[in-house]
Structure formats: structure tokens, C-alpha cells
Structure 1
Amino acid sequence: MMGMALLASAALGGCARQSYVALADDPGGQGGVALGEAGQRLLETPGQGMAIGGAERPFAVNELRRKADFAAALAAQPALPERFVLPIEATGGLGSAAEQTLERILLAARRRDYPVVTVIGHTDTLGQRAANEQVGLRRAQGVAELLRKRGLEAMELRVESHGERNLLVATPDATAEPRNRRVEVLVR
């Protein structure tokens, strides 16, 4: 299936209620859904719908109807992950904007029913790879501890180090790059 299809019960043809599939908006314009054993029925255009189990041809489903029919399903989708970056200064401490970022992280976690928070430490390429892995882990542990002290309530709090892997700015080995010294926090 190339596009995203939605399923709902909707009134088709009068008062009878019947389930149908509708092709959701596809910003890339590459979507489509084949229905049936041989894929003989096809939805190709966002806003098209087709009865399930019926022999009908695709029909137009206006935006207002799609919103009404699929509101519950769309509301049940989990919120997208939020990503925050805390730069590390040359002294090894957090940057001046860290206070505001920590508050935004806590707020993001409070908005979720069962937050999973992942704290990932990063380094530049100065030093040995194994040592950088440990430096990244200490950075992540420090931020995780700050979040705990400020009242973070999470279903799960993961602490990881990527060390000098996953550089923000690609550099050769043994290169100081301040933008690579950071802690990322993902809230899901």
C-alpha cells in the first residue's frame, strides 16, 4: 500500500450504514490503494472512498465528511515525538538556553499520558572513540538527573550515549566541533 487509507463506518446511500475506506491526503501525490483479491478496484486520489464488500466504484468524500467519519480514529493516533537539543559549552556545562529547554522538555512529557523520554549524549571527534562514548554517557546521565530533580514523570527514562557517532556536523577524526557536543532529548 503506497498511500494511507482510513477505515470508518459511514452512511452510504441513504440511511444504511456501511464501512468504507478513504484515501487520506497524500502530500507527495504518490499514493494509492488497491482493493480486492486481484487489486482490481483502486483508489488513487485523496478524498476518494469505496465501500468495503460492495461492488461500487470509487466515490468522492468531501473534507467535512472525512473529518466527521474519521475524527475518532485520527484522534487516537499517538502524538509525534518531540526532539530537544541541549548544547554543551567548552567548559562541559550546559549552555545558557538550557533552563528554558529543560522546562519545555518537562512540559512535553506532562502533555503525554505515558511518556517515554530518551536522553542521548553526543561528543565531537576529539579523543578516543571509547572515551567519547563514556563522555557522552556522563552528559546524558547529568541531563537525566536534572530532569528527575525537576519532577520528570515518565513511564520510561532511557539514557544512552552515541559518543562521536551521529555527528551533527561531519568532521574528520580529532576535530573540535562545538555543535557536535550536545545532549538530545526525545519525548514520545
Structure 2
Amino acid sequence: MVNCYDSEVEVQPHPQSLQDEEAVDLMLPEKFQHILRVMNTNIDGQLKIMYAITSIKGVGRRYANVVCKKADIDLNKRAGELTEDEVEKLVTVMSNPRQYKIPDWFLNRQKDVDDGKHSQLMSGALETKLREDLERLKRIRSHRGIRHYWGLRVRGQHTRTTGRRGRTVGVSRKK
């Protein structure tokens, strides 16, 4: 029986191994940020920038795509590779979409009830506005507001058998 450990075969490294200088671009850059803090939200630095900023509440994939294009940021870049200037540019485009000619129909708050303006709400402001909308509906005693107040389904679903909460009532058997 031949022992493979006793043989004196010299192992040559593969010419395109990761130890070569050509493969340095696969490694992370020196200033790579694994977590970014943008608009009071933690963003994963390893995701591509378009998908990374969708973790901000109020920013979807389509809006993120438009914002990255308006800010002249490469969509193939990872979020952790962005410089401070690029992050600031992203934030300014996201917070002032009409200034960068993003159309009104693209925004998530069109013709606001209070001031009639078009805007894109994100993170805390979005949650506050939604809460205010529900309070307004309850205050004016609209059908939707009353359903919210009672804790029932709002959008016309059937409630006879589904959506029951609380203790279950057992069925008594005949004897």
C-alpha cells in the first residue's frame, strides 16, 4: 500500500489563484462600509445600491432605480463602496425628487389633503402621515374610519367566517 503522504510530489499553485495580483479586485476596498446609516436607517453595505436603499421605508425598487440614475451612481456598485459625496447626493435626490425632475405620479404622496403638494415621504415621516390619515378618517366618521375604529376589515372583505379573534366557542354535541 502506498502512503500518499510519503511521496515527495511538489504541489504547484494554480497560476490564476487568488494569491496573484490580478485577483485583488475581488477583495473589499479599504474604505468598505458594511453598514451605512442613511435617513435614520441601517443599510447593508454588501447589497447593490439599488436594492440596499429599499430597506428605507417608503423607497421601493422602482424609486431606488430612478434615484440612482438621477444621482449618477453606477447600479453595479455595492452600497459599502459609495463615497460620502455619493451618499449625500443620493439623500438630496431622495428628499427633493421634484427638484431633480422626477414626475409627480412617481411619488408616494400625491396632492396631500392638508397642503395639496406632491412629495415623497420616507421613514418616520411616512409613518406619521399614515397615522394622521387614520386619525382624520376616524375624526370625520367616514366609513373607513369607523371600520378602523371598530377593528374590522376595511376593504370590503367578508367577515362572517374569517377574521375572527378572541376565544373560540366550542360546539355542543347531541346526546
Which structure dedicates a bigger proportion of its chain to helix? 2
For normalisation by structure 1, the TM-score amounts to 0.25
For normalisation by structure 2, the TM-score amounts to 0.26
Q: Give 1 or 2 for the bigger CA radius of gyration.
A: 2
Bigger relative contact order, structure 1 or 2 (CA pairs below 8 A, ≥6 apart): 1
